[in-house]
A and B are shown apart, each in its own frame.
Chain A
């Protein structure tokens, strides 16, 4: 039996994640690539809780739980500290959700990226503030229900393009990933590990609790989102070179993806049409970037 990933687990069972949690899978795959000589800085997010309460941890690597906006700044400090105490080998990772990355933590992230601090920032994106009970973030997609974007006033702003923002910092490596493609996540994390400077991984992580989807559908949703190009898989090197990871041939319509989630149930045909047009436009824009950086 040939497993496509190393068998050793650095994330343990008994953790407090919901059934079908995409965030746990994201951690599982990234840590398989980065190995045990890794330290994590985890701000307030689902993973603050998934790891387990004091005095326990489900992880086989050291963790510093830090304040909400400080994943990147704490990681910058950890990296500097480790080097000064003689450890230049350990990989320093800031590991946060979309809330702590796109919103409250973006200043620290931008600061670290501008300085090109030698850290890997991984954002697992479940598209809302899930840990505090499903409030909207700037990563929440257009059309989604959350507790702060109720059906009568659903989220009517597009998802913030964090990857373009990170690319604008001209950091050596930006990549998107999805938990439905673990080998791709693994490869990208491994690649990031060997690069110096700020590296940003943006991993799509379904949340059955917040999306009102079935727990067993999490991988399916993470796959569909790539196949319909809502969340394309690609890399940006040095802010300029765009490479698609998966060449999506027959782009699937988004309706099948939307139908599996309660958070989109209220959408009308017109609204879905608008969303499809937006997805198509974004995809075309990305293809142009890939071509022109060719």
Chain B
């Protein structure tokens, strides 16, 4: 299942709104690192053997499993290419990002 949570950027209007010490108040999910990409992974589900290796090796937790198949979370995928490189049946292609 996707773990999409609605995370917002936190803005403080005054020091009164701020915690006393530097501490986190929210998650990094507001930061859509998908914008870093030049190339994006595209999974060919027909040839996918459902081994789970792409999910296992993603450093950005941007591959999630749904109905026993891997899907890319393009909001966060940084386009590192590890999934494509490690796929044992080479069913993930890295394609140019089109704006």
Tell me, yes or no, whether A and B come into direct contact in the complex with CB atoms closer than 8 A: yes
Residues of A within 8 A of B (CB): 1-5, 7, 9, 11-17, 19-22, 24-25, 28, 51-52, 54-58, 63, 182, 208, 214-220
Q: How many residues of chain B get a CB closer than 8 Å to chain A's CBs?
A: 42
CB closest residue in chain A, given B76: A13
Residues of B within 8 A of A (CB): 3, 7, 10, 18-19, 22-33, 36, 50, 52, 55-57, 59-62, 65, 68-69, 73, 75-76, 78-82, 84-86, 94
Distance, CA A148 to CA B55, complexed state (A):
37
**30 sample A-B contacts, Cβ–Cβ < 8 Å, listed by A number:** A1-B52, A1-B68, A3-B56, A3-B65, A9-B3, A13-B28, A13-B60, A13-B61, A13-B73, A14-B7, A14-B31, A14-B32, A14-B33, A17-B59, A19-B36, A19-B59, A20-B80, A22-B59, A25-B57, A28-B61, A52-B31, A56-B10, A56-B30, A57-B27, A214-B81, A215-B80, A216-B81, A216-B82, A216-B94, A217-B85
Q: How far is the CB of B45 from chain A (nearest CB, A)?
A: 12
Q: Which 8 A-B pairs have the closest CB atoms?
A: A216-B81, A14-B28, A13-B76, A57-B24, A19-B80, A58-B28, A14-B31, A20-B80
Distance, CA A11 to CA B29, complexed state (A):
11
- In the bound complex, do residue A215 and residue B82 qualify as a contact, i.e. CB atoms below 8 Å apart? yes
Distance, CA A24 to CA B59, complexed state (A):
6
Distance, CA A214 to CA B24, complexed state (A):
33
Majority SS at the chain B contact face? loop
CB closest residue in chain B, given A64: B23
- In the bound complex, do residue B82 and residue A219 qualify as a contact, i.e. CB atoms below 8 Å apart? yes
CB closest residue in chain A, given B4: A13
Residues on A with C-beta less than 8 A from B59 are 17, 19-22, 24-25, 28, 218
Residues on B with C-beta less than 8 A from A208 are 80
- In the bound complex, do residue A9 and residue B50 qualify as a contact, i.e. CB atoms below 8 Å apart? no
- In the bound complex, do residue A182 and residue B56 qualify as a contact, i.e. CB atoms below 8 Å apart? yes
- In the bound complex, do residue B61 and residue A12 qualify as a contact, i.e. CB atoms below 8 Å apart? yes
Residues on B with C-beta less than 8 A from A28 are 59, 61
Distance, CA A51 to CA B61, complexed state (A):
14
Q: How far is the CB of A11 from chain B (nearest CB, A)?
A: 6
| Contact with A216, one of B24, B36, B80 (Cβ below 8 angstroms) | B80
Residues on B with C-beta less than 8 A from A13 are 28-29, 33, 60-62, 73, 75-76
The verdict on A2 contacting B82 (CB below 8 Å), with A12-B27, A13-B76 known, is no
- In the bound complex, do residue A56 and residue B27 qualify as a contact, i.e. CB atoms below 8 Å apart? yes
CB closest residue in chain B, given A52: B28
Residues on B with C-beta less than 8 A from A51 are 28
- In the bound complex, do residue A219 and residue B36 qualify as a contact, i.e. CB atoms below 8 Å apart? no
CB closest residue in chain B, given A5: B56
Distance, CA A81 to CA B90, complexed state (A):
50
Residues on A with C-beta less than 8 A from B86 are 219-220
Residues on A with C-beta less than 8 A from B29 are 12-14
- In addition to A12-B3, A52-B28, 17 A-B residue pairs with Cβ atoms within 8 Å of each other are A4-B56, A7-B65, A9-B3, A13-B60, A13-B61, A13-B73, A16-B31, A20-B82, A54-B22, A55-B19, A56-B10, A58-B28, A182-B56, A182-B57, A215-B82, A216-B84, A220-B86
Residues on A with C-beta less than 8 A from B24 are 52, 54-57, 63
Distance, CA A20 to CA B85, complexed state (A):
11
Residues on A with C-beta less than 8 A from B31 are 14-16, 52, 56
